Amino acid sequence: MIGLPINWTIYEAMGHSVKTGHPTTEKILPDGYWNYFATHPQEGRVFNEAMEAKAHGQIAGIIASYDFSGFHTIADIGGGRGHLLQAIIDSSPQTSGVLFDLPQVVEEAAGAASSRIKLQPGDFFHDELPRCDAYTAMDIIHDWDDEKALAILKAIRHAAPTSAKLLLLETMVSEAPGPDWAKMLDIHMLVLLGGRQRTLDEYTQLLRKSGFAFRREINTQAGISILEAEAV
């Protein structure tokens, strides 16, 4: 996936991001990074398979690090083809799930539907989200700048009943100086999407502004942390 020609073409124009703070893709791909893959299905397949492999490598650590059995219904926001939600459901026999993502993504995830997993197509910027007692969002918030990240979190809070849990699954930027994979990923997110990796303090502030109280960070030891928050 990293070797796809489009990724290298984007980085050739990285100066645009350095000078403006905006994604290089707005100069190279006027229709956006995601639309590029939609119109280049072979490259889109490589990208999707890479993201699935990454998710599978982290899901085991997530399931081992958190007890999901206390939830009646969990919504996975931007849950893709449902790999995380399926793993959660498998680990918690009393729990049901709702997979929420864009219509075309949900259509591809049709095989994930079951008596315990409902598929709900929609756009979290415009459509109503499901009402559940817990929400997961894996590698979603880092795709966006603060304004849009806050809009997503507020949409979840609007749907969430008081005391519902929100579990953000993200690679965290260390407060310590020095080389760090998350800092490299931060550059990658800026150049491709205009998004960013964040520190714990930055996530805590976003959660507070959107109506959630941060409760704890759980390091899964799989390159990703669980940030648990509660709707207040």
pLDDT at 105: 87
C-alpha 66 chain-centroid distance: 17
For residue 55, pLDDT beyond 90: no
Exactly one of 72, 126, 142, 188 is catalytic; name it. Answer: 142
Burial 180-211 (b: 16+ CB within 10 A, else e): eebeebbebbbbbbbbbbbebeebbebbeebb
Each domain of the chain, given as residue ranges in start order, spans 5-231
Q: Global pTM?
A: 0.93
Question: Could you report the per-residue pLDDT of 19-48, keeping only the tens digit for each?
Answer: 999 999 999 998 888 889 888 989 988 988
In the DSSP assignment, the letter for residue 145 is -
- 140 burial (CB, 10 Å; 0-12 / 13-18 / 19+) is buried
Mean pLDDT in residue range 54-66: 92
In order of 46, 64, 101, the CA distances from 10 in angstroms are 17, 37, 26
pLDDT at 101: 94
Question: Could you report the per-residue pLDDT of 147-191, keeping only the tens digit for each?
Answer: 999 999 999 999 999 999 999 999 999 988 889 999 999 999 999
pLDDT at 98: 97
For residue 49, pLDDT beyond 90: no
In this structure, of 46-55, 125-134, 182-191, the range with the lowest mean pLDDT score is 46-55
Is residue 188 flagged as an active site residue? no
Are 137 and 154 contacting, i.e. CB atoms less than 8 angstroms apart?
A: no
The CATH T-level fold of domain 5-231 is Rossmann fold (3.40.50)
Dig out the tokens for 42 from the structure.
């072979």
Question: Could you report the per-residue pLDDT of 69-110, keeping only the tens digit for each?
Answer: 999 999 999 998 899 999 999 999 999 999 999 998 898 889
Stretch (H or E) spanning 114: none
